[in-house]
Chains A and B, each alone.
Chain A
Amino acid sequence: MHAYAGKTLRVDLGRQHVHEEPLDTDAAQAFIGGRGLATKMIYDEVNPKVDPLGGANKLILATGPLTGTSAVCGSRFMAVTKGALTGAIACSNCGGNFGPELKFAGYDMIVLEGAAKKPVVIVIDDDQVEIRPAGKLWGKNVHETEDTLHEQLGGDFKCVSIGPAGEKLVRFANIMSDKNRAAGRSGVGAVMGSKKVKAIAVRGSGGVSAADPKAFRAACLDSLEKLKAGEVTGGGLPKFGTAVLVNVINEHGLFPTRNFQQGQFEAAEQISGETIAEKILVRNRSCMACPIGCGRVTAVKDGKYAGFGEGPEYETIWALGADCGVSDLAAATKANYICNELGFDTITAGGTIACAMELYEMGLITAKQVGCKLNFGNGAALVDLVTKIGYRRGFGDVLAEGGARVAQKFGRPDLFMGVKKQEFAAYDARGAFGMGLQYATSNRGACHVRGYMIAPEILGNPVKMDPLTVKGKAEMNIAFQNTVAALDSSGTCLFVTFSIGAPELAAMLKTATGFNYTVDKLLLAGERIWNLERMFNLQAGFTGKHDTLPKRMLREPMPAGPAKGKTVPLSKMLPEYYRLRGWDAQGRPTKQKLAALGLS
């Protein structure tokens, strides 16, 4: 067996029992690994109607065949489950060192089943697997948890853990790894918390081999050279991190500001990647096998927000900055550190607080309810509230449900800025129509990384598309969604797609696995994965009606900037999208389509 470790570890938490099973190589060929293979298992084994926080849900941490190899950015694992925030299929991608270490220990994936009665820690030392009581680790934050595990077990164990947010079932809790890396969307950490798994520590002495070592090495080097030469992967990202986008997106007028009331933030300069590099950057940090190194190790040296950690990256500095109208880099950075330590999603946290801020300014939420003023721009309230969210204290308990439920509770569901109960990322779709279609159709709720239409619409990568037209958007969206589904399943990082595409990915996968992957087969696998995710959601109760956007996107024209006067013409794109997908008018995959994909 090449590229794959060849074994799956199943952990039955109710019975405190673990067992191994061999990798299904036919399924691996059809679904690649990672996101695809884990989704197939969830689809086969979990009733889509289950309570995501109940014992019948399962949580899979899945690596891909390129994880733990020299493939560019081959560090990723996916957390796949039914999402606590959305009730839809969730798959949340994480880098760092855990994924590769899991493979070195001999496992492609871990399946967590049932729920433990008392909190546990799972320790994997090659083929020695133990379920131990979590004891005093329960209640500790993510950093304390990893430090304690390293003291107890040894510094060479790689960890994933949940913080207080996961324990307390904050609906957008993360699974954290290497302290500051996150499987960060849809509430996969709340699912782990519901199973009472505090942490998984793994150490492996084994290795991963390629089917054709010489050809695989050549394919890796080819991609590596392209990443080094790429403007984004070899320039912008290493130099300024993802926050290099702040100025770019702001200039294009789609930098969502104050809960998407505006598309440009007057203080963008103060929270830009350039400013981060100048004021707080200590050094870059890479996930394993990554030549980019977009990770930002940062320090706020003095003042009331002094601290040390990683971030903010682009989506975070937007969510905790512009979306909340906060221009104080130190406050937003501190809020980021707290999110990481307590273990929850910065995007949904920022989006939820921004929504609450708008409700507050409208008088629908009072200072008495919150415990302080909650006006836009209030950095002190932001820092206070993220702490309260993490522990579900005071008003944080309300916010811990996410923006959709907050907006519903206070009588203005239309002020939730997201889709399928998950918040938008840092792009106002009125300034990039294809991104709007992407948000509406994403299988895990609003999301920028299912199909990053900003690349063609704003950055001109791989081709430049006019962001303010509908032409070609459905087709491009589908191509992106399928490619990324395949990429996420392979174990490498979305960021490689700034410099390489399906041909390079197919070359690495083919030579690593020995399976005869071609570009067509790879994209077909991506399409198969996308359709299976869709089937899960349809069976969970979602319909085409959920493929929509908030009223603000559809009917409130952008007030100013390059996209002034625009709304998202979703109804002009969605039918074409369904048709090109081979789905019926209600967005259901047809029998013929499912048969063609081998899913019937």
Chain B
Amino acid sequence: MVKVLAIDHEKCTSCRLCELVCSERHGGAYRPARSHIRVAIYPEDAVYLPMMCMQCDDAPCIPVCPSGALVRDTQTNAVLVLEERCVGCRMCALACPFGAINYWDNKARKCDLCGGDPECIRFCTPQALRYEAVERFSHSARQAYADRLRDSLKEVTA
């Protein structure tokens, strides 16, 4: 069953453990500057937004690649960079609307869903990040919204 990475930013506490463990998993050091997930923190608005590759179904990064280095993983649905084909032109980064494609050591770098076992999910205590079946994807958001609506209705009737 194909899973997707779902972000529930309202649960995020801005602890950035995701950044730490992502960078360690992919590069062997806790190094947020080289994490594929970054939390945008707006303290004055009390808003924390985990930003990462959305693994778009119609991914703009794939067709712009001149060397065919970006491919779809049929198992996980992740968009992968094939390092041996990547020429380091950064066209994929230009095409990505989310700024989710990184570049270092002369190659494009991005989230690969850790081969189907995302490390960020493992460490995300408030469950702002979840890896869940496509069929469940909108369910949790819908349920969370319904819960909030229920609470406000309770306030009105109380």
In the complex, which residue of chain A has the Cβ closest to the Cβ of B28?
A: A209
Is B30 an interface residue, CB under 8 A from the partner? yes
Q: Are A70 and B33 in contact (CB under 8 A)?
A: no
CA distance A308 to B42 in the complex (A): 14
Residues of B within 8 A of A293 (CB): 13, 15, 125-126
Is A207 an interface residue, CB under 8 A from the partner? yes
Q: Are B43 and A178 in contact (CB under 8 A)?
A: yes
- 8 A Cβ contacts from A576-598 to B: none
CA distance A224 to B17 in the complex (A): 11
CA distance A104 to B32 in the complex (A): 8
Q: Interface size on A (CB < 8 Å)? A: 36
Question: In the complex where A70-B21, A207-B29, A224-B123 touch, is A290 in contact with B34 (Cβ < 8 A)?
Answer: no
In the complex, which residue of chain A has the Cβ closest to the Cβ of B20?
A: A70
CA distance A272 to B39 in the complex (A): 31
Question: In the complex where A286-B13, A288-B15, A293-B15 touch, is A208 in contact with B126 (Cβ < 8 A)?
Answer: no
In the complex, which residue of chain A has the Cβ closest to the Cβ of B25?
A: A217
Is A469 an interface residue, CB under 8 A from the partner? no
CA distance A210 to B43 in the complex (A): 31
Residue interface mask B2-29, A partner, CB < 8 A = 1: 0000000010011111001101100111
Question: In the complex where A70-B24, A286-B14 touch, is A208 in contact with B46 (Cβ < 8 A)?
Answer: no
Q: Are A70 and B31 in contact (CB under 8 A)?
A: no
> A434 CB to closest chain B CB, in angstroms?
32
Is A291 an interface residue, CB under 8 A from the partner? yes
Residue interface mask A488-520, B partner, CB < 8 A = 1: 000000000000000000000000000000000
Residues of A within 8 A of B16 (CB): 97, 288-289
Is B148 an interface residue, CB under 8 A from the partner? no
Question: In the complex where A178-B43, A289-B20 touch, is A68 in contact with B30 (Cβ < 8 A)?
Answer: yes
Of B10, B14, B24, the residue contacting A285 (CB under 8 A) is B14
Is A213 an interface residue, CB under 8 A from the partner? yes
Question: In the complex where A289-B20, A293-B126 touch, is A206 in contact with B13 (Cβ < 8 A)?
Answer: no
Of A208, A227, A228, A286, the residue contacting B29 (CB under 8 A) is A208
Residues of B within 8 A of A476 (CB): none
In the complex, which residue of chain B has the Cβ closest to the Cβ of A294?
A: B13
Residues of A within 8 A of B31 (CB): 104, 205-208
- 8 A Cβ contacts from A52-74 to B: 68-70
Q: Interface size on B (CB < 8 Å)? A: 25
Q: Are A209 and B30 in contact (CB under 8 A)?
A: yes
Of B15, B24, B33, B34, the residue contacting A213 (CB under 8 A) is B24
Q: Are B17 and A70 in contact (CB under 8 A)?
A: yes
Residues of A within 8 A of B29 (CB): 206-209
Q: Are B30 and A285 in contact (CB under 8 A)?
A: no
Q: Are B17 and A289 in contact (CB under 8 A)?
A: yes
CA distance A213 to B28 in the complex (A): 8
CA distance A70 to B21 in the complex (A): 6
Q: Are A224 and B125 in contact (CB under 8 A)?
A: yes
Residues of B within 8 A of A69 (CB): 20, 30
CA distance A308 to B45 in the complex (A): 10
- 8 A Cβ contacts from B69-105 to A: none
Is A41 an interface residue, CB under 8 A from the partner? no
CA distance A213 to B33 in the complex (A): 19
Residues of B within 8 A of A284 (CB): 13, 126
Is B136 an interface residue, CB under 8 A from the partner? no
Question: In the complex where A213-B24, A224-B123, A293-B126 touch, is A287 in contact with B46 (Cβ < 8 A)?
Answer: no
Is A398 an interface residue, CB under 8 A from the partner? no
CA distance A205 to B13 in the complex (A): 23
Question: In the complex where A286-B15, A288-B16, A289-B15 touch, is A206 in contact with B125 (Cβ < 8 A)?
Answer: no
CA distance A104 to B29 in the complex (A): 10
Other 17 A-B pairs with CB < 8 A, given A69-B20, A283-B13? A70-B17, A70-B20, A97-B16, A100-B32, A207-B23, A207-B30, A208-B29, A209-B24, A209-B28, A213-B24, A283-B46, A289-B15, A289-B17, A290-B13, A291-B123, A293-B125, A295-B13
16 contacts between A and B (CB under 8 A): A68-B20, A70-B24, A104-B32, A204-B33, A206-B33, A207-B23, A207-B29, A207-B33, A213-B24, A221-B122, A221-B123, A227-B125, A283-B13, A284-B126, A290-B15, A297-B43
Across the A-B interface, give the 4 residue pairs with the lowest CB-CB distance, nearest first: A207-B31, A207-B29, A291-B125, A286-B15
